[in-house]
């Protein structure tokens, strides 16, 4: 686990793009998977950044970025997407994309698509996310 990930839960630093009110801690919320991935925002940019840290909960995906110039290793929350609104796209090779079907509340930013290069981890990420998305779609149709 990236050191940023270890300290994230204890030193949660929301950003201006986080939906308000945002409560990370909920009774039934369980963290299922986390990891540090190389990625880029929007398909037009295609410029990779050193890393993003993703946290996959049973109902939520957090896309964060390690904070620079932080004495304690912390992550800055970029986007919080509920499974009901999460879109997952297989872009071939070792790349997958994540985006939200809903505009973030209290955000002047347009919804973004985040592309991740996940060599040797793509299948794990996609399987876990897809299972959660299908679970929410199934619950919604009942």
pLDDT digits (tens, 9 = 90+) for 97-118: 888 887 555 444 455 788 888 8
Residue numbers of the domain that contains 76: 3-141
What's the half-sphere exposure (Cβ side, CA atoms, 13 Å) at 60?
Answer: 18
E strand or H helix that includes residue 51: strand 49-57
Instruction: Give the domain CATH number at 48.
Output: 2.30.29.30
Report the pLDDT value the prediction gives residue 6, as an integer from 0 to 100: 46
> Are 62 and 54 spatial neighbours (Cβ–Cβ below 8 Å)?
yes
pTM of the model: 0.74
40-93 confidence digits (pLDDT tens): 877 555 555 668 889 999 999 998 888 877 666 788 888 888 888 899 999 989
Give the pair of three-digit tokens for residue 118.
């996940």
User: Per the structure, how many domains does the chain have?
Assistant: 1
């Amino acid at each position: 686990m990236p050191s940023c990930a270890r300290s994230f839960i204890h030193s949660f630093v929301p950003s201006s793009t986080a939906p308000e009110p945002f409560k990370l801690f909920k009774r039934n919320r369980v963290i299922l998977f986390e990891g540090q991935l190389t990625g880029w925002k929007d398909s037009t940019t295609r410029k990779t950044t050193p890393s993003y840290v993703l946290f996959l909960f049973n109902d939520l995906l957090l896309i964060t970025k390690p904070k620079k110039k932080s004495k304690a290793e912390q992550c800055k929350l970029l986007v919080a997407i509920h499974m009901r609104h999460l879109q997952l796209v297989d872009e071939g090779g070792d790349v997958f994309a994540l985006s939200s079907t809903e505009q973030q509340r209290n955000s002047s930013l347009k919804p973004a698509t985040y592309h991740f290069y996940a060599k040797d981890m793509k299948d794990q990420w996609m399987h876990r996310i897809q299972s959660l998305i299908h679970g929410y779609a199934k619950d919604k149709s009942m």
